[in-house]
Structure 1
Amino acid sequence: MRLAMIHKYYELRVMKYNHLYFASQVYPHTKYIIPPILSASRTWYEGMHRLRQVLLDLQDAWEEIAPGTPFPIEWDANEIAKHWEAYHRLKLYEERVKQVVERLQLEGDGWVTNERYEKVTG
Protein backbone atom coordinates (compact mmCIF):
# COMPACT_ATOMS: atom_id res chain seq x y z
CA MET A 1 0.00 0.00 0.00
CA ARG A 2 2.83 2.34 0.89
CA LEU A 3 4.63 1.70 -2.42
CA ALA A 4 1.39 2.26 -4.36
CA MET A 5 0.90 5.59 -2.59
CA ILE A 6 4.48 6.65 -3.37
CA HIS A 7 4.03 5.70 -7.01
CA LYS A 8 0.77 7.67 -7.24
CA TYR A 9 2.49 10.68 -5.66
CA TYR A 10 5.28 10.35 -8.24
CA GLU A 11 2.72 10.26 -11.09
CA LEU A 12 0.99 13.38 -9.80
CA ARG A 13 4.29 15.27 -9.48
CA VAL A 14 5.34 14.27 -12.99
CA MET A 15 1.93 15.31 -14.33
CA LYS A 16 2.27 18.70 -12.68
CA TYR A 17 5.95 19.50 -13.34
CA ASN A 18 6.96 17.55 -16.44
CA HIS A 19 4.09 17.68 -18.92
CA LEU A 20 6.01 16.32 -21.91
CA TYR A 21 7.30 13.28 -20.03
CA PHE A 22 3.85 12.58 -18.65
CA ALA A 23 2.32 12.88 -22.12
CA SER A 24 4.85 10.37 -23.45
CA GLN A 25 3.88 7.92 -20.71
CA VAL A 26 0.16 8.05 -21.46
CA TYR A 27 0.34 8.38 -25.26
CA PRO A 28 -2.20 5.82 -26.53
CA HIS A 29 -0.25 4.76 -29.66
CA THR A 30 3.08 3.91 -28.06
CA LYS A 31 2.65 0.23 -28.95
CA TYR A 32 2.83 1.21 -32.65
CA ILE A 33 5.44 3.99 -32.43
CA ILE A 34 8.20 2.33 -30.35
CA PRO A 35 8.61 -1.04 -32.19
CA PRO A 36 9.81 0.49 -35.50
CA ILE A 37 12.46 2.45 -33.61
CA LEU A 38 13.69 -0.65 -31.80
CA SER A 39 13.49 -2.89 -34.88
CA ALA A 40 15.38 -0.41 -37.05
CA SER A 41 18.38 -0.67 -34.74
CA ARG A 42 18.27 -4.50 -34.85
CA THR A 43 18.06 -5.13 -38.59
CA TRP A 44 21.75 -6.00 -38.78
CA TYR A 45 21.22 -9.25 -36.86
CA GLU A 46 17.43 -9.74 -37.10
CA GLY A 47 17.04 -8.87 -40.78
CA MET A 48 14.33 -6.73 -42.33
CA HIS A 49 11.36 -9.04 -41.65
CA ARG A 50 10.53 -7.77 -38.18
CA LEU A 51 11.02 -4.10 -39.11
CA ARG A 52 8.78 -4.49 -42.16
CA GLN A 53 6.16 -6.23 -40.01
CA VAL A 54 6.06 -3.51 -37.36
CA LEU A 55 5.80 -0.90 -40.13
CA LEU A 56 2.83 -2.80 -41.60
CA ASP A 57 1.27 -2.89 -38.12
CA LEU A 58 1.85 0.85 -37.86
CA GLN A 59 0.21 1.35 -41.26
CA ASP A 60 -2.86 -0.60 -40.12
CA ALA A 61 -3.26 1.78 -37.16
CA TRP A 62 -2.25 4.93 -39.08
CA GLU A 63 -5.73 6.38 -39.58
CA GLU A 64 -6.25 6.29 -35.81
CA ILE A 65 -2.81 7.80 -35.13
CA ALA A 66 -2.79 10.51 -37.80
CA PRO A 67 -6.32 10.92 -39.21
CA GLY A 68 -6.41 12.30 -42.74
CA THR A 69 -2.64 12.02 -43.19
CA PRO A 70 -1.37 9.53 -45.78
CA PHE A 71 0.98 6.85 -44.52
CA PRO A 72 4.52 7.88 -45.52
CA ILE A 73 5.47 4.50 -47.05
CA GLU A 74 4.00 3.02 -50.21
CA TRP A 75 4.31 -0.74 -50.55
CA ASP A 76 4.48 -2.69 -53.76
CA ALA A 77 1.98 -5.61 -53.72
CA ASN A 78 4.70 -8.03 -54.81
CA GLU A 79 6.96 -6.82 -52.00
CA ILE A 80 4.18 -7.38 -49.46
CA ALA A 81 3.50 -10.90 -50.77
CA LYS A 82 7.20 -11.76 -50.45
CA HIS A 83 7.22 -10.32 -46.95
CA TRP A 84 4.29 -12.45 -45.78
CA GLU A 85 5.90 -15.58 -47.17
CA ALA A 86 9.26 -14.85 -45.53
CA TYR A 87 7.66 -13.67 -42.28
CA HIS A 88 5.61 -16.87 -42.07
CA ARG A 89 8.82 -18.93 -42.46
CA LEU A 90 10.50 -16.81 -39.78
CA LYS A 91 7.63 -17.39 -37.33
CA LEU A 92 7.76 -21.16 -37.99
CA TYR A 93 11.51 -21.16 -37.39
CA GLU A 94 11.11 -19.20 -34.14
CA GLU A 95 8.43 -21.63 -32.95
CA ARG A 96 10.69 -24.62 -33.67
CA VAL A 97 13.58 -23.00 -31.81
CA LYS A 98 11.25 -22.32 -28.88
CA GLN A 99 10.17 -25.99 -28.85
CA VAL A 100 13.78 -27.21 -28.85
CA VAL A 101 14.69 -24.83 -26.04
CA GLU A 102 11.69 -25.99 -23.99
CA ARG A 103 12.17 -29.72 -24.63
CA LEU A 104 15.87 -29.67 -23.86
CA GLN A 105 15.37 -27.15 -21.05
CA LEU A 106 18.08 -24.91 -22.45
CA GLU A 107 18.95 -21.56 -21.02
CA GLY A 108 19.93 -18.34 -22.82
CA ASP A 109 21.69 -18.88 -26.17
CA GLY A 110 21.40 -22.67 -25.83
CA TRP A 111 23.49 -22.84 -22.69
CA VAL A 112 23.36 -26.10 -20.70
CA THR A 113 24.69 -26.66 -17.19
CA ASN A 114 27.61 -29.07 -16.83
CA GLU A 115 25.40 -31.44 -14.86
CA ARG A 116 22.84 -31.70 -17.69
CA TYR A 117 25.26 -31.65 -20.64
CA GLU A 118 25.46 -35.44 -21.11
CA LYS A 119 21.68 -35.84 -20.92
CA VAL A 120 21.06 -33.11 -23.49
CA THR A 121 23.76 -34.16 -25.98
CA GLY A 122 23.37 -37.92 -25.52
Structure 2
Amino acid sequence: MILLDKLFLQCTDTATNYKKFAKIKGLQHETVNERQKQRVKKGIYHIQHVNNFHNRLKGWMERFQGVATKYLDNYLYWFRWLELGKNSAFEKRVEQMLISACQKLNYNTVEIIKMA
Protein backbone atom coordinates (compact mmCIF):
# COMPACT_ATOMS: atom_id res chain seq x y z
CA MET A 1 0.00 0.00 0.00
CA ILE A 2 1.14 3.49 -0.77
CA LEU A 3 0.66 6.52 1.48
CA LEU A 4 -0.50 9.29 -0.80
CA ASP A 5 -1.87 12.61 0.49
CA LYS A 6 -2.94 11.00 3.78
CA LEU A 7 -4.94 8.34 1.88
CA PHE A 8 -4.09 4.69 1.73
CA LEU A 9 -4.04 3.25 -1.75
CA GLN A 10 -4.25 -0.40 -2.71
CA CYS A 11 -2.99 -1.31 -6.18
CA THR A 12 -3.76 -4.91 -7.21
CA ASP A 13 -4.52 -7.18 -10.10
CA THR A 14 -8.19 -7.60 -11.04
CA ALA A 15 -9.05 -10.38 -8.54
CA THR A 16 -12.45 -9.52 -7.05
CA ASN A 17 -11.49 -10.22 -3.42
CA TYR A 18 -9.15 -7.19 -3.42
CA LYS A 19 -12.00 -4.84 -4.32
CA LYS A 20 -14.04 -6.08 -1.35
CA PHE A 21 -11.02 -5.79 0.99
CA ALA A 22 -10.40 -2.20 -0.13
CA LYS A 23 -14.03 -1.29 0.46
CA ILE A 24 -14.06 -2.85 3.96
CA LYS A 25 -10.82 -1.08 4.93
CA GLY A 26 -11.78 2.24 3.31
CA LEU A 27 -8.90 2.21 0.82
CA GLN A 28 -8.68 3.84 -2.57
CA HIS A 29 -8.30 0.95 -5.02
CA GLU A 30 -6.63 0.84 -8.44
CA THR A 31 -6.44 -2.30 -10.54
CA VAL A 32 -3.93 -3.33 -13.19
CA ASN A 33 -5.19 -5.88 -15.71
CA GLU A 34 -2.22 -8.05 -16.64
CA ARG A 35 -4.38 -10.37 -18.78
CA GLN A 36 -4.81 -7.46 -21.16
CA LYS A 37 -1.05 -6.78 -21.04
CA GLN A 38 -1.58 -3.69 -18.88
CA ARG A 39 1.61 -3.17 -16.89
CA VAL A 40 1.20 0.44 -15.73
CA LYS A 41 -2.02 2.39 -15.17
CA LYS A 42 -2.22 6.19 -15.26
CA GLY A 43 1.56 6.30 -15.54
CA ILE A 44 2.19 5.42 -11.88
CA TYR A 45 0.20 2.38 -10.72
CA HIS A 46 1.81 -1.03 -11.18
CA ILE A 47 2.24 -4.30 -9.31
CA GLN A 48 5.58 -5.43 -10.73
CA HIS A 49 7.47 -4.99 -7.44
CA VAL A 50 4.96 -7.16 -5.60
CA ASN A 51 4.99 -9.81 -8.34
CA ASN A 52 8.79 -9.84 -8.37
CA PHE A 53 8.96 -10.17 -4.58
CA HIS A 54 6.33 -12.94 -4.64
CA ASN A 55 8.32 -14.87 -7.26
CA ARG A 56 11.50 -14.61 -5.20
CA LEU A 57 9.68 -15.75 -2.04
CA LYS A 58 7.95 -18.63 -3.84
CA GLY A 59 11.21 -19.80 -5.40
CA TRP A 60 12.99 -19.66 -2.06
CA MET A 61 10.19 -21.55 -0.25
CA GLU A 62 10.06 -24.34 -2.88
CA ARG A 63 13.39 -25.72 -1.64
CA PHE A 64 11.72 -26.69 1.64
CA GLN A 65 8.95 -28.70 -0.08
CA GLY A 66 6.30 -27.23 2.20
CA VAL A 67 6.46 -25.81 5.72
CA ALA A 68 4.25 -26.27 8.75
CA THR A 69 2.02 -23.27 9.47
CA LYS A 70 3.35 -23.05 13.02
CA TYR A 71 6.87 -22.44 11.60
CA LEU A 72 5.81 -20.07 8.80
CA ASP A 73 6.81 -17.00 10.83
CA ASN A 74 10.35 -18.32 11.11
CA TYR A 75 10.67 -18.96 7.38
CA LEU A 76 9.23 -15.55 6.51
CA TYR A 77 11.58 -13.83 8.96
CA TRP A 78 14.54 -15.80 7.54
CA PHE A 79 13.62 -14.78 3.98
CA ARG A 80 13.13 -11.14 5.06
CA TRP A 81 16.50 -11.16 6.78
CA LEU A 82 18.19 -12.55 3.64
CA GLU A 83 16.43 -9.97 1.46
CA LEU A 84 17.44 -7.05 3.68
CA GLY A 85 21.06 -8.14 3.71
CA LYS A 86 21.48 -9.30 0.12
CA ASN A 87 23.58 -6.26 -0.81
CA SER A 88 25.74 -6.35 2.32
CA ALA A 89 29.20 -7.82 2.65
CA PHE A 90 29.41 -11.33 4.13
CA GLU A 91 31.02 -10.11 7.37
CA LYS A 92 28.27 -7.54 7.90
CA ARG A 93 25.59 -10.21 7.31
CA VAL A 94 27.19 -12.50 9.90
CA GLU A 95 27.32 -9.62 12.39
CA GLN A 96 23.65 -8.81 11.76
CA MET A 97 22.72 -12.49 12.11
CA LEU A 98 24.34 -12.65 15.54
CA ILE A 99 22.66 -9.44 16.67
CA SER A 100 19.28 -10.59 15.33
CA ALA A 101 19.62 -13.95 17.08
CA CYS A 102 19.96 -12.16 20.42
CA GLN A 103 16.96 -9.89 19.95
CA LYS A 104 13.45 -10.85 20.97
CA LEU A 105 10.86 -10.44 18.22
CA ASN A 106 7.87 -8.33 19.18
CA TYR A 107 5.51 -9.28 16.38
CA ASN A 108 3.97 -12.35 14.86
CA THR A 109 3.78 -12.28 11.06
CA VAL A 110 0.97 -14.80 10.69
CA GLU A 111 -1.20 -12.95 13.22
CA ILE A 112 -0.62 -9.64 11.40
CA ILE A 113 -1.61 -11.24 8.08
CA LYS A 114 -4.75 -12.75 9.61
CA MET A 115 -5.81 -9.36 11.03
CA ALA A 116 -5.44 -7.55 7.67
TM-score range, shorter chain: under 0.3
TM-score by length of 2: 0.28
Tell which structure's C-alpha radius of gyration is larger. 1
Q: Which structure has more strand as a fraction of its residues?
A: 2
TM-score between both structures, scaled by the size of structure 1: 0.27
